[in-house]
Copies of this chain bind each other. A is one copy, B any other.
Amino acid sequence: MVAALAGVSRATVSRVVNGASSVDPGLTASVQKAVQALNYVPNRAARTLASRRTFTVTLLVPESTSKVFADPFFAAVVEGVARYLNTTEYMLNMVTSSESNPEKTRRYLLGGNVDGVLVVSHHTGDHSWAHLDGSLPLVFAGRPLLNSADAYFVEVDNEKGAATGTARLTGSGRTNIATIAGPQDMHPGVDRLAGWRGEVLRAGLTDALVEIGDFTVASGAAAMRRLLDRGAPLDGVFAANDQMAAGAYSVIRERGLRIPEDIAVVGFDDDYYATSLTPALTTIHHPISLLGEKMAEVLVDLIEGRPAERITRLPTSLVERESA
């Protein structure tokens, strides 16, 4: 370690570089100047070998690599993760689980090649990797219905977001508000429905107008059709995601109704559909890249032994456009 030349011993240099246990200010200074002078940059491999830490975190994604990058959701998550990691000394590497046998992935992760893992299964949680927990810090995007023992999750505040979206409807005087809910076997579906219910009840309205979809455009259209076929008055609908809102749009049009005059529509996610629909969809913004950023932050905290929240809930915001 050349820096020792310009100062004293090399254990001290290590301490200074790592900002560790108290070092004499004078020595600290001369070491730093030496570091500057020699343009010293610690060798990553040596550091890893000696400390048994890799300074690498893995982003574990389910689908095949090729699909991942084309997906705007993953792209945004990766962006957030990378943004946070850039402020640290950690590197990011991605591994797609399905490719080849999962055992290979497992061995890689457990083989001491990584300090922590970020699990991103599209929208909801594929927690088949939960068993890694305990051996390796793990942070999931979204949480599974049955909270696995002790894992860490980062998710958007689904319930509050849904309540905010619904409030947009109650607030503008709508009195017969329905919801096209998501699958009730995953948290986003359950929580968004709860958010809608809380708000309509708070406003003194009925919570009977519920139809379930599966987050696809087609299911949104089918749900809207069932809603309209009930014959009950209806002047507002909160869809649990923008895709189902898009499905609802087509049916509302099909019935000769106007948006938002006859039926106001509010969605959730603020994705591609939100802006491409006509009229543009009023929706709840889902901060995806922030999701990635927070996941990385929690993971690094975990790795460095800092305390972290078990569940981090991201704030949402209402994006007012023309449909409500």
Contacts and interface: CB of A to CB of B under 8 A. Distances in A.
Contact of A70 (B54, B75, B83, B91): B75
Contacts of A39: 107
B41 A49 contact: no
A66 interface: yes
Given A70-B79, A86-B99, A107 B41 contact: yes
A88 interface: no
Contacts of A83: 65-66
Contacts of A93: 91-93
A45 B54 contact: yes
A69 B78 contact: yes
Contacts of A37: none
Interface string A106-143: 01100111000000000000000000000000000000
Contacts of A91: 93
Contacts of A43: 49, 112
A163 interface: no
16 contacts: A39-B107, A43-B49, A44-B45, A44-B48, A45-B46, A65-B79, A65-B83, A69-B75, A69-B76, A69-B78, A69-B82, A82-B94, A86-B96, A92-B93, A92-B94, A93-B93
Interface of A: 39, 41, 43-46, 48-49, 54, 65-66, 68-70, 75-76, 78-79, 82-83, 86, 91-94, 96, 99, 107-108, 111-113, 289
